[in-house]
Amino acid sequence: MNGKEGSLVIEISSTTHPKISNKLTVFMYTILEFAKEDINRVTFSLKVGLALLLVSLLILIQAPYQAFGTTIIWSILTVAIMFEYTVGATFHKGFNRALGSLFAGVLAVAVTELALMGGPVAEPYIIGISIFMIGTITSFIKLWPTLVPYEYGFRVIQFTYCLIIVSGYRMGNPTKTSIDRFYSIVIGAFVTLAVNTLIFPIWAGEQLHKELVKNFNSVADSLEECVKKYLADDGSDQPVFIKTLMDEFPDEPEYIKFQSTLNSSAKLESLALSAKWEPPHGRFRQVFYPWSEYVKVGTVLRYCAYEVMGLHGVLHSQIQAPYNLRCIFKTEILEATSKAAELIRGLGKDICDMKQTRKCSLLKNIHRSTERLQRAIDSRLFNKDPAEDDMKYQSERQSMSLVTFTSLLIEFVARLDHLVEAVNELSIMAKFERESL
């Protein structure tokens, strides 16, 4: 009772706790950002749902269910297992599943017939020994280094063989069981390939192409960011050393992106393997496109990235050269850095546009810049003439920090020769369009 006499006030409290509401909002926002980061994630999810719906109709509709019976469930299982993010990975997995299922089915029928010849007493022993042998042999073979890409196929042989031969032993007529399940697997595989290839396809080759170009830009951006920060005046003669992990530099956003380049080996190799299974498409119409060359270029680029990581290590080391010492070589360092970054971005653009340009003149200019930097370091830091010993007030340890930084930069430029050569080889094998610089 509140207010005027005889009036009744009913207070309705909200049942939603503010903390729960905030957590739900943050969770939904995180999902939205994850989807916006790569719209292909949403496309892939919708395609998987569509493929599962299509094969489920074979059970939900009476006519196909009467024709196939419960074995049509293998179609749903095939879609769920075989549907991969890219078209190439789906073809690769589909090949493994088809070959493994066919081999397991034929082998199961042959062993079942052999077991029947042995009579009812020997039949379970023959089947049991065969299951043990198949499981042992396939598990050993799939560990062979050259057969690792087909590991899934051997796994398919294991469970398909066991399911067919055991169900055939209990239900009878293993030949019909094998044929029905093979038909169901073929239907599931056909629906998977059709949906993944014809509806907004996500090509592994296109993903590999974009990933490599992104790595080029990441290396160039991180190099410029590192050098710019190294030559910046922090207002102190001796920077304060921050004890932090090499992976945690919140004030260097480009280095955070650059880390993906250092760890890109497995991703590039996986995409290249999947891309080999894809038919000619889009800009990649050449039969037997040299996808393995992308991996080679990525490897050379990663070696260059290791030098950039070394530059970041010097930038965050405890012993630092004073700003006035670094500033003496600022012009030479910036010149070499800007030209090196320009070359890397140019190589990435050539790959992106699939054009073959000559970078020899630009590469020579970069080497001349590093030669000037090396001469400046030699004359100013290692000159024994007392008349020019203007760095005498600096400690040897501080000077060596600068020498280490410039040496890594010069080594980085030296590796660009191999990078240009690898990109040229890719452009020739992939038949990039020739264009003068």
For 284, phi and psi rounded to 5 degrees? Answer: -105, 70
Contact present, 58 and 187 (Cβ < 8 Å): yes
Domains, the chain, ranges and CATH?
Answer: 21-198 (no CATH), 204-383+390-434 (1.20.58.220)
∠ Cα 338 344 345 (to 5°): 90
- Distance of CA 53 to CAs 50, 56, 76, 97, 329, Å? 5, 5, 9, 21, 66
Tens digit of pLDDT per residue, the chain (437 long)?
Answer: 444 444 444 444 445 555 566 777 887 888 888 878 788 889 999 999 999 999 988 888 877 777 777 778 888 888 988 899 999 999 988 888 888 888 888 888 888 888 878 778 888 888 889 999 999 999 999 888 888 878 888 988 988 888 888 876 666 666 777 777 788 888 889 999 999 999 999 999 999 999 999 999 999 998 998 888 888 865 554 444 444 444 556 566 667 777 778 888 888 999 999 999 999 988 898 888 999 999 999 999 999 989 988 888 888 877 777 777 788 888 888 999 999 999 999 999 999 999 888 777 788 888 888 888 888 887 776 654 544 444 444 455 567 878 888 889 999 999 999 999 999 999 999 988 886 54
Q: Residue 190, Cβ neighbours under 10 Å: how many?
A: 14
DSSP, collapsed to helix, strand or coil, labels residue 356 as strand
| Cβ-based neighbour number of residue 283 at 10 Å | 13
Asked if 422 and 344 count as a contact pair (C-beta separation under 8 A), the reply is: no
CB proximity list for 335: less than 8 A, separation 6 or greater: 369, 372, 373
Residues in a beta bridge with 356: 434
Residues 6+ apart with CB under 8 A from 158: 104, 134, 135, 138, 139
Q: Which two tokens stand for residue 93?
A: 């997995």
Give the max Cα distance, the chain. 105
For 350, phi then psi, to 5°, come to -60, -45
